[in-house]
C-alpha cells in the first residue's frame, strides 16, 4: 500500500439532495461504468435545468468491499441538485444527510483511489474517530482530463 498525503479535517456538512443511478455489482477499476452512469445522470440533470454552481459529482459507497462480495456491492452515482428535486423512472433522488464528517482532500492518480481510502481509514483509527456507518462518499473536484498531470482531485467523506 502506498501512503497518500492529504489535507484532512473534521467538519459539519449540511444535507443535500442527490440525483443518482444505483449500480449493484463489480465496480472497482471500471472507469467506463462510472463514466456511463455519470453521463446518464448529467444528461438528465442538464435536461431538467438542475445544474447549479455548487452542484457536486458524487459516488456513494453503500457496502464495505472487505465484507460484501463484489456481485452484491452497491454504489450510487450522480450529482447534487436543488432541494425539492424529484426523480423519475430513470433517475432517483435522495437526501445526503447532514452531520459530522472526516474529509480527506486528495490529488491522486486514477489507480490510487484504494490507497487514498486506506490512508483516510488509517487517519481515523489513529485519531480516535469511528465511522458512524451512515454514509461514505467521494466528491469529485475536477475533470482529470483537464489537469496538467491527469490527476484526480477528490474529497473522500466519511460520516463520524
- Is position 100 within any domain? yes
The mean per-residue pLDDT over the stretch 81-101 comes to 96
The mean per-residue pLDDT over the stretch 25-52 comes to 95
Domain that includes residue 136, residue range: 7-159
- Is position 1 within any domain? no
Please state, in angstroms and rounded to a whole number, the distance separating the CA atoms of residues 40 and 86: 16
pLDDT digits (tens, 9 = 90+) for 60-90: 999 988 899 999 999 999 999 999 999 999 9
Read off the pLDDT band of 5 (50, 70, 90). low
Cβ–Cβ < 8 Å for 21, 73: no
CATH number of the domain residue 98 falls in:
3.20.80.10
- Is position 99 within any domain? yes
pLDDT of residue 2: 58
pLDDT of residue 153: 95
Domain count, the chain: 1
Read off the pLDDT band of 38 (50, 70, 90). very high
pLDDT of residue 134: 84
pTM above 0.95, yes or no: no
pLDDT digits (tens, 9 = 90+) for 104-116: 999 999 999 999 9
- The average confidence (pLDDT) of the chain is 93
Residue 56 makes CB contacts below 8 A (sequence gap 6+) with 16, 79, 80, 139, 140
Cβ–Cβ < 8 Å for 110, 31: yes
- Is position 2 within any domain? no
- Is position 51 within any domain? yes
Please state, in angstroms and rounded to a whole number, the distance separating the CA atoms of residues 89 and 94: 14
pLDDT of residue 119: 93
- Is position 90 within any domain? yes
Q: What are phi and psi of 148, to 5 degrees?
A: -60, -30
Amino acid at each position: 500500500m502506498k501512503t497518500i498525503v492529504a489535507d484532512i479535517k473534521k467538519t459539519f456538512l449540511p444535507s443535500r439532495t442527490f440525483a443518482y443511478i444505483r449500480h449493484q455489482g463489480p465496480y472497482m477499476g471500471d472507469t467506463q461504468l462510472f463514466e456511463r452512469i455519470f453521463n446518464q445522470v448529467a444528461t438528465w440533470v442538464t435536461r431538467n435545468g438542475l445544474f447549479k454552481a455548487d452542484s457536486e459529482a458524487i459516488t456513494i459507497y453503500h457496502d464495505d468491499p472487505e465484507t460484501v462480495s463484489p456481485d452484491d456491492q452497491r454504489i450510487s452515482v450522480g450529482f447534487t441538485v436543488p432541494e425539492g428535486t424529484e426523480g423519475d423512472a430513470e433517475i432517483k433522488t435522495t437526501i445526503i444527510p447532514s452531520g459530522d464528517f472526516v474529509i480527506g482532500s486528495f490529488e491522486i492518480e486514477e489507480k490510487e483511489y484504494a490507497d487514498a481510502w486506506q490512508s483516510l481509514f488509517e487517519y481515523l483509527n489513529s485519531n480516535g474517530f469511528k465511522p458512524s456507518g451512515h454514509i461514505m462518499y467521494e466528491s469529485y473536484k475536477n475533470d482529470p482530463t483537464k489537469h496538467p498531470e491527469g490527476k484526480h482531485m477528490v474529497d473522500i467523506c466519511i460520516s463520524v
